[in-house]
């Protein structure tokens, strides 16, 4: 990453193409008007909606607070160090997504498919994971305080050193 005119520059990849978002916003500013520039095309926030297709995108180190990506195809997306607090990802496909070190406070992941997702050191405080599929997910060192995962499937998930104070996992499959 470099700096240009007070704005942070980062590489962005989508379907094998690379570009930078330096002309759009500093990564320290909240996600407001512009989303990213994929394949030379601006994607305004209004175009990010339930059911969006962004497989394999690199959305690392962004602030995506409150975004509605319910039902979206986010398979393999990298959200490393991304703030998704208060986002709606219910019913989203996040298979093999990389959410390491992500901030997911009060995120709605109910009925989301997180098969094989990496959530190492992710902070899921207050997250809703009801009926979510976390089979084979890596939750090493994740924080799930006050989270709900009622009916969630955690078969073969790595749950080493997870903090889950006041969390609810009623009816969850933990085998």
The rounded percent of the chain whose pLDDT value lies above 90 is: 61
Asked which of 65-74, 84-93, 100-109 is least confident by mean pLDDT, the reply is 65-74
d(CA 114, CA 9): 29
Give the pLDDT score at 45.
54
Give the pLDDT score at 79.
93
Give the pLDDT score at 60.
87
Per-residue pLDDT band for 63 (boundaries 50, 70, 90) equals: confident
Mean pLDDT across 149-157: 96
Give the pLDDT score at 164.
95
The rounded percent of the chain whose pLDDT value lies above 70 is: 72
Per-residue pLDDT band for 71 (boundaries 50, 70, 90) equals: very high
Query: Which residues are CB-contacts of 46 (< 8 A; sequence separation ≥ 6)?
Result: none
Asked which of 53-62, 68-77, 149-158 is least confident by mean pLDDT, the reply is 53-62
Give the pLDDT score at 10.
32
Cα radius of gyration (the chain) = 16
What is the token pair recorded at 172? Answer: 């969850």
* Mean of per-residue pLDDT scores for the chain: 78
What is the token pair recorded at 164? Answer: 């889950």
pTM attached to this predicted model: 0.74
- Write the secondary structure of the chain as one string of H (helix), E (strand) and C (coil): CEEECCEEECEEEECCEEEECCCCCCCCCCCCCEEEEECCEEEEHHHCCCCCECCCCECCCCECCCCECCCCECCCCECCCCECCCCECCCCECCCCECCCCECCCCECCCCECCCCECCCCECCCCECCCCECCCCECCCCECCCCECCCCECCCCECCCCECCCCECCCCECC
């Amino acid at each position: 990453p470099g700096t240009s005119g007070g704005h942070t520059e980062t590489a962005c990849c989508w379907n094998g193409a690379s570009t930078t978002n330096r002309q759009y916003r500093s990564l320290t500013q909240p996600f407001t008007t512009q989303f990213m520039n994929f394949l030379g095309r601006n994607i305004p926030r209004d175009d990010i909606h339930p059911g969006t297709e962004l497989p394999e995108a690199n959305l690392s180190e962004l602030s995506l607070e409150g975004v509605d990506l319910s039902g979206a195809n986010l398979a393999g997306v990298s959200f490393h160090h991304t703030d998704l607090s208060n986002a709606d990802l219910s019913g989203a496909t996040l298979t093999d997504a990389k959410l390491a070190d992500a901030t997911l406070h009060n995120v709605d992941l109910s009925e989301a498919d997180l098969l094989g997702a990496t959530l190492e050191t992710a902070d899921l405080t207050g997250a809703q994971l009801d009926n979510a599929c976390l089979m084979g997910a890596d939750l090493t060192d994740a924080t799930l305080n006050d989270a709900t995962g009622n009916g969630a499937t955690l078969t073969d998930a790595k749950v080493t050193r997870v903090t889950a104070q006041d969390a609810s996992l009623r009816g969850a499959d933990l085998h």
